[in-house]
């Protein structure tokens, strides 16, 4: 009887990937890469839009702050000068809180709206100084004035006759596509020109 020290072991055949299987794997990998890249591109675009909108919001906030600070402390018309004069495109008035002059000094300032290159430009003028405060792409705008009867007017004129009251509020209205922005500033100083002893003493007539 013959004994074999090493029994025969059946050889199992090892099959490699077929061409079709390789193509399927490559297609799946390509689809995954495409989805990842599209998601990355969308996220990057979204980030850029957020940064742009955030910068625009900061600029508008600064513009409104400057606009409000100058118009809240207006000076009603005095016998020696004119008070607020304005229409839909520009306004000029005396204020105690100009952007360039020291606070507390009565200064003549002006706010202006212009269309340049299809964009609405808000400008500020103080003496010989003039600079752009904000720009809205493809927008239109106007100034309006709230009278003592709570009606918005497109013009506000003062005269050298009977002292005229300041408006209760001034608003800058900006229409940008379907979006309507209202920057409203309430007048915090006296609406009518009543000169106090303090103003006479410190030359604020």
Query: Each residue's pLDDT tens digit in the chain (205 positions)?
Result: 555 554 555 555 555 667 777 788 888 888 888 888 777 666 666 656 655 555 667 778 888 999 999 999 888 766 666 778 999 999 999 998 999 988 888 899 999 999 999 999 999 999 999 999 999 999 999 999 998 889 999 999 865 555 567 889 999 999 988 989 999 999 887 766 555 555 555 555 4
How far apart CA 84 and CA 94 sit, in angstroms, is: 7
Check residue 172 and give its pLDDT.
95
- Cα–Cα distance list, 8 to 1, 2, 4, 11, 32 (Å): 17, 14, 9, 9, 47
- Cα–Cα distance list, 79 to 164, 183, 204 (Å): 11, 31, 12
Check residue 35 and give its pLDDT.
81
Check residue 21 and give its pLDDT.
75
The two counts, helices (H) then strands (E), for the chain are: 2, 9
Check residue 23 and give its pLDDT.
81
Backbone angles phi, psi at 79, to 5 degrees: -60, -25
Helix, strand, or coil (residue 22): helix
pTM: predicted TM-score of the whole model, two decimal places: 0.67
Check residue 105 and give its pLDDT.
87
């Amino acid at each position: 009887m013959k004994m074999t020290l090493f029994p025969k072991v059946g050889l199992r055949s090892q099959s490699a990937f077929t061409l079709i299987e390789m193509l399927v794997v490559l297609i799946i990998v390509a689809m995954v890469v495409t989805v990842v890249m599209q998601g990355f591109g969308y996220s990057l675009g979204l980030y850029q839009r957020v940064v742009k909108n955030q910068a625009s919001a900061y600029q508008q906030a600064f513009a409104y702050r400057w606009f409000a600070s100058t118009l809240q402390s207006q000076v009603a018309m005095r016998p020696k000068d004119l008070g607020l004069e304005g229409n839909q495109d520009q306004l000029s008035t005396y204020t105690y809180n100009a952007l360039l002059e020291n606070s507390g000094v009565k200064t003549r300032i002006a706010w202006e709206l212009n269309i340049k290159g299809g964009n609405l430009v808000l400008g500020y003028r103080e003496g010989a100084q003039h600079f752009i405060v904000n720009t809205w792409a493809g927008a239109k705008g106007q100034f309006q004035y709230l009278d003592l009867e709570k009606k918005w007017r497109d013009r506000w004129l003062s005269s050298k006759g009977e002292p005229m009251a300041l408006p209760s509020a001034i608003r800058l209205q900006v229409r940008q596509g379907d979006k309507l922005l209202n920057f409203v500033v309430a007048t915090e100083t006296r609406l009518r020109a009543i000169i106090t002893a303090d103003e006479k003493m410190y030359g604020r007539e």
